[in-house]
Amino acid sequence: MKKIDRSSKVRTGFHQAKWDEPVIFELTQPGERGILVNKADAKVAASVQGTKVLPEFLRRKVAPVLPEISQPRVLRHYARLAQETLGADVNIEIGQGTCTIKYSPKVNDQLANLPQLREMHPLQDESTCQGIMEIMYKTNQYMCEISGMDRFSFQPSGGSQGILAMASLVYSHFKARGEERQRNEIITTIYSHPSDAAAPHVKGFKIIYLQPDKDGYPDYEAFKAAVGEHTAAFFVANPEDTGVYNKNVLKFTKLVHEKGGLCAYDQANANGLLGVTRARDAGFDMCFFNLHKTFSTPHGCGGPACGAIGCAQFLEKFLPAPLLQFDGKKYYYDFQTTNNTSAIGKIREFNGVAPVILKAYAWIRSLGPNGLYQVAKTAVLNNNYMFKKLMELHCVDAPYIPGKQRIEQCRYTLETLYRETGVGTADIQRRMMDFGMHYWTSHHPYYVPEPMTLEPTETPSKEDIDEYIETLKYVFDEAYQNPKLFKDAPYRSVCHQLDESNMDDPEQWAVTWRCYLKKFH
Amino acid sequence: MSVKGFKSHPYIPNSVPEVEQEMLREIGLHSIEELHEEVPDEIVLKENMNLPEAFGSEYELRRHVESLLKKDESCADNLNFLGAGCYQHYVPAICDEINGKGEFLTAYGGESYNDFGRFQALFEFESMVAELVDMEVVNVPTMDYAQAAASAIRMGCRVANRTAVLVPEAMDREKLAVIRNYCTPDLLIVEVAADAGTGCMDLADLKVKLNENVGVVYFENPAYLGMFEMNAREIADAAHQAGAQCVVGVDPISLGVIAAPRAYGADIVCGDVQPLGIHMNYGGGQCGFMATMDDPKYVLEFPSRLFGICRTKEPGEYAFADVAYDRTSFGHLRDKAKEYVGTQTALWGITAGVYLATMGPKGMQEVGETIMQNAQYAAERLAALKNVSLRFDAPVFEEFVLDFNKAGKTVTEINQALLERHIFGGKDLSRDFADLGQCAMYCVTEVHTKEDIDTLVSALNEIL
Amino acid sequence: MKEVGLIINPVAGMGGSVGLKGTDGIVDEAIRRGAKPKAGARAALALRQMLPMKDSLQLLCPSGEMGERLARELGFDTKVIYGCKGKTSSRDTVAAAQAMADVDLLVFAGGDGTARDIVSAGVHCTVIGVPAGVKIHSPIYATRPERAGELALRFLHGSCHHTREAEVVDIDEESYRNGRVRTSLYGYLNVPDDRDFLQHGKASSPASEHAEQESIAAEMINRMRENVYYLIGPGSTTRTLMDELELPDTLLGVDLVCNRKLVQADLCERGILQRLDEREAYLVLTPTGGQGYLLGRGNQQLSAAVLRKIGRERLHILATREKLLHLEGRPLLVDTGDADVDRMLSGYARVIVGVMEEQVCRISGE
């Protein structure tokens, strides 16, 4: 046997698991069952009427057409689907820019699965929940220290709901002053997440967008023209997805305050700032963190998650109820804010996604203040290292502040590549999968042409980053040598290139198996 | 210099000093302090944050968290009769096995090429829930029942192009608070009185409040206080006659035995799949859904993602992708509300799919029957206790309201006494429904044995 | 069997290589300078992509270099529906386009000038432009000839069946050759609305361009006051507004609306000035002509005198984000021919980009 050749980092032999697994309904074998269900005790069954108490119209006449499958086959089905999913556990996560896909420590998952959390009912007597309440209370304190805010609520269960909670706080603040009709505008930037506009709409706010100036900062002159007596709040991320930190942020928050508005910080991009700088110090009155991003809790294919919202003390009275308090001896829920007619009331049922909060708690405790600072520094180091290497490539560029540092991610442009080869960012995205790599373009519309958004958190090693860069280079070379190759990529994924032409057509779309059978059989 | 990092941390490979130096050199810097040069000095932290130092080992961390959680008393070690939106059902082992798989646990926002399995599993979730609720379109799940109801209400108002909403007065106050926050200031939420005897919606009051502004009439079946909505058909008919949409909330685990709401006139169905194979998680297992028929009028109003089956360029091959991705919520000129989509509860959706595939039609029917039998048995035995009665006179699914007003003790006192016997008594309704006085809502499911129920009965007998 | 029209402007693109900016009106000069025809080769790149469907297509072409020769060369079932005589001119393009008004798809190779000819032929079929000219400012062109062919294939297959209107704009070549850029809007053509054709895949939740226009229209209608005049300027976004109001629209002209009713269509400058005396009036504008011109390109009836009378406060500007994006940070432009009025209009303004959504944009005189 020859020595194994490791001269190239690129995984040219990669192929994703592909099982050709049928849709679950196709696995039905009438009579098979996946589990035996607890029956009522014979004496119980004999003494009551059961479903016979139901009026005729409430009785189900035809059983739901669910699949009938034995347990091993159900397991195998889902195990195969899991293999056909590129989770962060199996992949170098650099390519899902803005999503802060970092290592989710396994010990935290195990802790969250203990019955003392998993088997807890949210309405249990407080005396029986002191453990989880302590964890939530302390996580709140840590978040306050990290952001400079005075109080956090964990009810928002995702980033978008976090933004809704911020918009709701803004609404409450002005409602309490009788100004909710006058203060009806929220200023944000075109680079902000689409939810920075969509969520405030739900609270009746008008959205005013700012364009970036030549440095990628929100255009201050336009901002001055926009801020006024109708301004309820300024919603902004810093850095934005470009990775450019707005140096003048204090100037912006100061002006908003002078005009009577509030400042809300979308901290979805906080990973590069832990222990380095804080929301409150930059002049913000409220902020939210994605615990499923910055604080390591697993993304779960898109939730459950938490968009923890924090605010300054003067807004605390509007936070969703209840607030968790500590009287020196025990933790308890405080429903005071329910009496405040201007307050939010509730963003979510019960008290937030406890397992997610626990995992964030454990993560913070495994790092401490030095570790969190190291997270930010390494994330920024990784990004700037990658930035330097990629900017050396002829076909890669990045708008704004040339020669300066980025924070934790960067939105690059492949315009040159596209112009010279006809291969665009969407083609690269598909081709990167042939090497087992995620790759993300940008939200729409594309303000940066042919965008590529990469975020190497603190998780990947230098080796991993180099592999990602080598793979990108390999793919760019392919684009120059054989652009045709990209037309049908990917070749080594679970499926070939999608033909989405039926997805907008009511005659052809099929959101469920039932629709599919109706339309195509 | 007083801010320090953490070298060679196991979660941070490049915190190894040599690697860090090499990478710094590569970008022309000498120390990590030279990073963040774009952050103005006046807002840079000069000291380490005031947080507890890191644990020295994973073992210490584990011991610490375990010691905190040991302060908790769980429903595994106590007898629990709390429900009220979060339910204790048996979670088949296979559900935890699948949602614990690292690939599902740690995937996020890839395309079908990356996350084929995630797309398929969620398509299957949509498909199986659709069978359960007898609808054709179901969304990739949203936060919880309350969010699903709030979105369904907004959808219904867009379809009807109206701005008033009627909801039952006897509904979950927490859910109502979520709905109010989500719909204010665009929509007006009006409560319809409940019939004092049955707790069901008061039809006379409904008819008084129905007018040409009402876009949605919302009710639940079973209702929050446990009883079936006996006037469901009449409510739906009245809503439709007034030109309003009928939105119905369900408990999906009841639908093996209970008619799907479409049978009595629902236009939009919503609910929470937490009962379907998801642990209570102290309220963290909630997972909402909406469902409609496959009519573009409704489909285009969904604020959530909808995964559909899709062709590929390879003849005969299929994949999954977003249906009507460009859909906006601008169905009508006067509606100003565009909703949003984001990270919600996908992993619980996959889990609920596993549950439904495992239970099958037979399992869902059986679990429904068991629950109803156990609940009826418990209700009858408890109501037979001295000075205790059932507050409402209508058939229930798994929850019922016990009236303790004649017991001479408050629910707080009773629950405290039960707690001493390791029993979590029913939800105290005196705060949310002051008119009811001292009433508590008990929840009994298939996890309760006859002995469990008898234990509760004798405990209450002792206490009272 | 599907019918596909094919028109090649054989002289398109010849000017560029010899330092002329376009060939409109100066073909002979280009040839004298040694320019070689290129459009045929560009068209061939596109047509080759369509060969897989060869057996189910019939190509309708003008004779010779304008289509026939290439179609036959590639082996397509070819039908000549218009005979060119001698040197071809834009008149041939117009006539040929009119002769193929009922085709399933019209593929043409040329530049902005060619697109103008197609517009002036008044065709309503779906078109795809193969970029072959020097001036390619109209977004009806695919990014590359091959992409045009691919898109045609997808469209004919039925895998892309939505269409949208795209602007046909052109630069006045005479002034362009003299170093000045003046673009004008000449009309709209239907193009396939394909995600790839638009040069980007999909993202979180983009509204399609038309949905965005509808949303903008909805917002504008929400803002309309009673008993006040609204002058509706030219453009497809303002046209959507008129559609939503269920009123007929003059695409390239100015219409007057009051209380959701059309008061007068296609007003000239004098007409507008007279109407301005009658009651308070607002002007609803959208940038046209590809370069962000609000005024001064294709809407000469909105003169300096008109603007002075209306005033800056009574201006509503509508634009899709897509359109603002293409400005790449450049300001919206006004060129009323009166420096004072241009100055009055300059500064930051709020552009309506959707229901309850505005973008702060700078307006500038030249």
Domain end: C138, C163, C192, which one? Answer: C192
Say which residue, C22 or A60, is predicted with more confidence. A60
**What's the domain range around C285?**
209-364
Residue A104 lies in a domain: no
- Alpha carbons B414 and C215: distance in angstroms, whole number: 57
- Alpha carbons A83 and B444: distance in angstroms, whole number: 38
Residue B417 touches chain A, beta carbons under 8 Å: no
**How many alpha carbons lie under 13 Å from residue A98 in its C-beta half-sphere?**
26
pLDDT in tens, A396-449: 999 999 999 999 999 999 999 998 998 999 999 999 999 999 999 988 778 898
Q: Tell me the chain A residues in contact with residue C199 when contact means C-beta distances shorter than 8 Å.
A: 424
Is residue C167 domain-shared with residue C220, that is, in the same domain? no
Residue B198 lies in a domain: yes
Q: Tell which residue, B313, B316, B159, has the closest CA to residue B239.
A: B159
Average of per-residue pLDDT across B112-133: 97
The confidence score (pLDDT) of residue C207 equals 47
Q: Tell me the chain B residues in contact with residue C194 when contact means C-beta distances shorter than 8 Å.
A: none
| Mean per-residue pLDDT of chain A | 95
Secondary structure letter of residue B193 according to DSSP? P
Q: Do C348 and A222 touch (CB under 8 A)?
A: yes
Q: Do C215 and B325 touch (CB under 8 A)?
A: no
Interacting residues of B56 by C-beta distance below 8 A, sequence separation 6+: none
**What's the domain range around A194?**
110-117+126-363
Q: Tell me the chain B residues in contact with residue A114 when contact means C-beta distances shorter than 8 Å.
A: 66, 69
Answer whether A285's CB lies under 8 Å from A291's CB: no
Domain end: C142, C161, C192, which one? Answer: C192
pLDDT in tens, B44-86: 999 999 999 999 999 999 999 999 999 999 999 999 999 999 9
- Alpha carbons C200 and B325: distance in angstroms, whole number: 14
Strand pairing report for B79-80 and B423-424: parallel
Please say if the pLDDT value at position C188 is more than 90. Answer: no
- Alpha carbons A204 and A182: distance in angstroms, whole number: 12
Q: Do A35 and B363 touch (CB under 8 A)?
A: yes
Which positions 197-216 of B are in contact with A (Cβ < 8 Å)? Answer: none
Domain end: B355, B378, B400, which one? Answer: B355
Residue C222 touches chain A, beta carbons under 8 Å: no
Q: Tell me the chain C residues in contact with residue B323 when contact means C-beta distances shorter than 8 Å.
A: none
The confidence score (pLDDT) of residue C16 equals 60
Average of per-residue pLDDT across A388-394: 97
Q: Which two tokens stand for residue B380?
A: 């009858």
- State the CATH number of the domain containing residue A183: 3.40.640.10
**What's the domain range around B393?**
79-87+364-463
Q: Tell which residue, C86, C65, C55, C90, has the closest CA to residue C6.
A: C65
Is residue C96 domain-shared with residue C214, that is, in the same domain? no
Q: Which two tokens stand for residue B397?
A: 């699914």
Angstroms from B211 CA to nearest CA on chain A: 24
Say which residue, C203 or A372, is predicted with more confidence. A372
Q: Tell me the chain C residues in contact with residue B325 when contact means C-beta distances shorter than 8 Å.
A: 202, 205-206
pLDDT in tens, A103-152: 999 999 999 999 999 999 999 999 999 999 999 999 999 999 999 999 99
Secondary structure letter of residue B266 according to DSSP? -
- Alpha carbons A519 and A516: distance in angstroms, whole number: 5
- Alpha carbons C231 and C316: distance in angstroms, whole number: 10
Q: How many beta-carbon pairs under 8 angstroms link A with B?
A: 725
Q: Tell which residue, A373, A379, A377, has the closest CA to residue A455.
A: A379
What angle is formed at CA A255 by the lines to CA A250 and CA A259, rounded to 5 degrees? Answer: 150
Average of per-residue pLDDT across B386-395: 96
Lowest-confidence pick of A356-360, B280-284, C234-238: C234-238
Domain count, chain B: 3
- Alpha carbons C213 and C237: distance in angstroms, whole number: 6
Residue C142 Cα to chain centre, angstroms = 13
Q: Tell me the chain A residues in contact with residue B46 when contact means C-beta distances shorter than 8 Å.
A: none
Say which residue, C32 or A278, is predicted with more confidence. A278
Domain end: B324, B355, B386, which one? Answer: B355
Neighbouring chains to A with at least 3 Cβ pairs closer than 8 Å: B, C
Residue A201 lies in a domain: yes
Q: Tell which residue, A28, A64, A513, A510, has the closest CA to residue B134.
A: A64
Nearest chain B residue to C220 by CA: give it: B333
Is residue B83 domain-shared with residue B35, that is, in the same domain? no
| Inter-CA distances, B454 with B81, B372, B379, B385, B401, Å | 13, 16, 11, 12, 18
Residue B208 Cα to chain centre, angstroms = 32
Q: Do B361 and A68 touch (CB under 8 A)?
A: yes
Most C-contacting residue of B328, B329, B336 (CB-CB within 10 A), to test interface: B328
- Quote the ipTM score: 0.97
- Alpha carbons A469 and B84: distance in angstroms, whole number: 52
CB-closest option in A53, A365, A498 to B52: A365
From first CA to last CA, the distance across chain A in angstroms is 54
| Inter-CA distances, B377 with A236, B449, B458, Å | 56, 11, 14
Is residue B103 domain-shared with residue B207, that is, in the same domain? yes
pLDDT in tens, C204-250: 233 467 778 888 999 999 999 999 999 999 888 898 999 999 999 88
Residue B1 lies in a domain: no
Residue C66 lies in a domain: yes
Q: Do B330 and C211 touch (CB under 8 A)?
A: yes
- State the CATH number of the domain containing residue B377: 3.90.1150.10
Please say if the pLDDT value at position C203 is more than 50. Answer: no
Answer whether B235's CB lies under 8 Å from B408's CB: no
Is residue B347 domain-shared with residue B376, that is, in the same domain? no
Q: Tell me the chain A residues in contact with residue C204 when contact means C-beta distances shorter than 8 Å.
A: 194, 443-444
Q: Do B373 and A45 touch (CB under 8 A)?
A: yes
Residue B313 touches chain A, beta carbons under 8 Å: yes
CB-closest option in A66, A302, A407 to B109: A302
The confidence score (pLDDT) of residue B333 equals 35
pLDDT in tens, C36-60: 778 898 899 999 999 988 899 999 9
CB-closest option in C144, C348, C357 to A207: C357
Is residue C228 domain-shared with residue C186, that is, in the same domain? no
Is residue C41 domain-shared with residue C183, that is, in the same domain? yes
Nearest chain A residue to C157 by CA: give it: A501
The confidence score (pLDDT) of residue C165 equals 79
CB-closest option in A74, A121, A501 to B88: A121
CB-closest option in B326, B334, B341 to C207: B326
Q: Tell which residue, C110, A58, A391, A205, has the closest CA to residue B229.
A: A58
Phi/psi for B266 (5° steps) reads: -70, 135
Nearest chain C residue to B325 by CA: give it: C205
- Alpha carbons A455 and A88: distance in angstroms, whole number: 13
pTM of the model: 0.90
Q: Tell which residue, C150, C120, C143, has the closest CA to residue C47.
A: C150
Q: Tell me the chain A residues in contact with residue B122 when contact means C-beta distances shorter than 8 Å.
A: 301
pLDDT over 90 percentage in chain A? 91
Residue C159 touches chain A, beta carbons under 8 Å: yes
Q: Tell me the chain C residues in contact with residue B336 when contact means C-beta distances shorter than 8 Å.
A: 222, 355-356
Please say if the pLDDT value at position C172 is more than 90. Answer: no
Is residue B128 domain-shared with residue B196, that is, in the same domain? yes
Residue A490 lies in a domain: no
Average of per-residue pLDDT across A89-109: 96
Q: Do C211 and B336 touch (CB under 8 A)?
A: no
Nearest chain C residue to B330 by CA: give it: C215
> Which pLDDT band, with edges at 50, 70 and 90, does C289 fall under?
low
From first CA to last CA, the distance across chain B in angstroms is 67
Q: Which residues pair with A145 in a beta bridge?
A: none
From first CA to last CA, the distance across chain C in angstroms is 52
Is residue B104 domain-shared with residue B130, that is, in the same domain? yes
Is residue B228 domain-shared with residue B199, that is, in the same domain? yes
Average of per-residue pLDDT across A159-164: 94
Angstroms from C58 CA to nearest CA on chain A: 24
Residue C358 touches chain A, beta carbons under 8 Å: yes
- CB burial class (10 A; 0-12, 13-18, 19+) of residue A359? buried
Please say if the pLDDT value at position A19 is more than 70. Answer: yes
Q: Tell me the chain C residues in contact with residue A444 when contact means C-beta distances shorter than 8 Å.
A: 200, 202-206
- Strand order of the sheet with strand B307-312? A498-499, B307-312, B318-322
Please say if the pLDDT value at position A503 is more than 90. Answer: no
Residue C302 lies in a domain: yes
Please say if the pLDDT value at position C291 is more than 80. Answer: no
Please say if the pLDDT value at position C184 is more than 80. Answer: no
Domain count, chain A: 1
Residue B2 lies in a domain: no
Domain count, chain C: 2
Q: Do A366 and B35 touch (CB under 8 A)?
A: no
Please say if the pLDDT value at position B257 is more than 50. Answer: yes
| Mean per-residue pLDDT of chain C | 84
Which positions 120-149 of B are in contact with A (Cβ < 8 Å)? Answer: 120-124, 126-128, 130-132, 134, 136-138, 140, 143-147
CB-closest option in C211, C214, C356 to B336: C356
| Mean per-residue pLDDT of chain B | 95
pLDDT in tens, A298-311: 999 999 999 999 99
Q: Do C202 and B334 touch (CB under 8 A)?
A: no
Which positions 334-363 of B are in contact with C (Cβ < 8 Å)? Answer: 334, 336, 338, 341
Most C-contacting residue of B112, B312, B330 (CB-CB within 10 A), to test interface: B330
Residue C199 lies in a domain: no
